[in-house]
């Protein structure tokens, strides 16, 4: 089977080289077509924008190097996450339920001055519960892969418009005779299965539980929104349970800085090393075409 570029040369040769070459006319009683044949699935548009075409393929396969594989699975790190709140308590030693004080956008960027929300007045602030940093509970797997491209021979049959169309790079074809043979002048015989759909997908990549990693933060609390009057500096907070700290008497809580002292993400291993091709290529019935350029296609095979 010749590629699209060779077929384009073939039709040009039929049309323009040799005034004594008789171009056989297709019969009009068996739905003649213009047949494009190529080695990729990049089908051209039919002449005159016709949409009543037929698509087929033959010898369809995936690249043999990747025929069962879509790609190698990988996992992102399990990131450390800064605490985004504390609990301010009116009672000493965190004896009451407390109120949540948010650190809006604490990680954007880490260490910048945060205005606490809401601000806590001095007469309502006797102790504070520090929320520890966390590690993401899971790693993000590779993005979903797409199946490897198909190889083979592809065809599109467009309705015959009554004249040869050099811009389409197609061959004029008719159906076989009743005995299955091709009549003289249309001796190039092609068989394609109807292209139904490529139903292949790729198995998803999944990650195991995170292992390793260390997340440690320093939390600095301030009585003003510009983070210039520091109340408490709490260093080396790891991923343990919440911890209670006392606050200076009659000092409001209005600002904070939160930074990583250690930011070592955990790692995950993919549950499967490779994403595999799943599903099949669906084909329909076989259709035979008798085309008018056998001597061009096969006669120039060595050129």
Mean residue pLDDT across the chain: 83
pLDDT in tens, 123-147: 999 999 998 999 999 999 988 899 9
Q: What is the pLDDT of residues 37-96, one digit of tens each?
A: 998 888 889 888 888 899 999 988 876 655 788 999 999 999 999 988 899 999 999 999
Q: Do residues 159 and 266 lie in contact, with contact meaning Cβ atoms separated by under 8 Å?
A: no
Distance CA 138, CA 78 (A): 6
Distance CA 148, CA 45 (A): 24
pTM for this model (two decimals)? 0.64
pLDDT band at 211 (very low <50, low <70, confident <90, very high): very high
The mean pLDDT value for 161-186 works out to: 81
Is the Cβ–Cβ distance between 246 and 231 less than 8 Å? no
Strand 99-102 relative to strand 230-237, pairing: unpaired
Query: 130 has which bridge partners?
Result: 86, 243
Give yes or no for residue 242 having a pLDDT over 90. Answer: no
Note the helical H segments in 139-275. Answer: none
In whole angstroms, give the CA distance from residue 4 to residue 169.
7
CB 187 within 8 A of CB 114: no
């Amino acid at each position: 089977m010749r590629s699209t570029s060779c077929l384009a040369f073939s039709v040009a040769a039929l049309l323009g080289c040799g005034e004594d070459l008789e171009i056989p006319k297709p019969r009009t009683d068996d739905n003649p077509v213009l047949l494009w044949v190529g080695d990729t699935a990049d089908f051209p548009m039919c002449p005159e924008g016709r949409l009543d075409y037929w698509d087929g393929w033959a010898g369809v396969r995936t690249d043999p190097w990747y025929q069962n594989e879509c790609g190698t699975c990988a996992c992102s790190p399990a990131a450390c996450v800064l605490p985004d709140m504390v609990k301010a308590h009116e009672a000493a030693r965190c004896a009451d339920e407390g109120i949540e004080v948010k650190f809006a956008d604490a990680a954007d960027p880490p260490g910048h001055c945060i205005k606490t929300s809401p601000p806590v007045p001095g007469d309502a602030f006797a102790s504070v519960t520090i929320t520890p940093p966390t590690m993401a509970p899971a790693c993000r797997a590779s993005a979903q892969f797409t199946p490897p491209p198909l190889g083979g021979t592809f065809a599109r049959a467009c309705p015959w418009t009554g004249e040869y169309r050099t811009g389409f790079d197609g061959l004029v074809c008719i159906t076989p005779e009743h005995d299955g043979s091709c009549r003289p002048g249309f001796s190039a015989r092609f068989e394609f299965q109807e292209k139904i759909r490529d139903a292949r997908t790729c198995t998803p990549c999944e990650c195991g539980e995170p292992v390793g990693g260390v997340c440690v933060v320093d939390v600095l609390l301030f009585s003003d929104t510009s983070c210039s009057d520091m109340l408490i500096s709490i260093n080396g907070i790891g991923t343990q349970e919440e911890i209670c700290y006392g606050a200076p008497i009659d000092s409001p809580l209005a600002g904070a800085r939160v930074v990583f002292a250690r930011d070592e993400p955990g790692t995950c291993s993919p549950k499967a090393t490779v994403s595999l091709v799943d599903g099949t290529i669906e084909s329909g019935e076989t259709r035979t075409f008798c085309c008018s350029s056998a001597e061009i296609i096969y006669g120039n095979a060595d050129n």
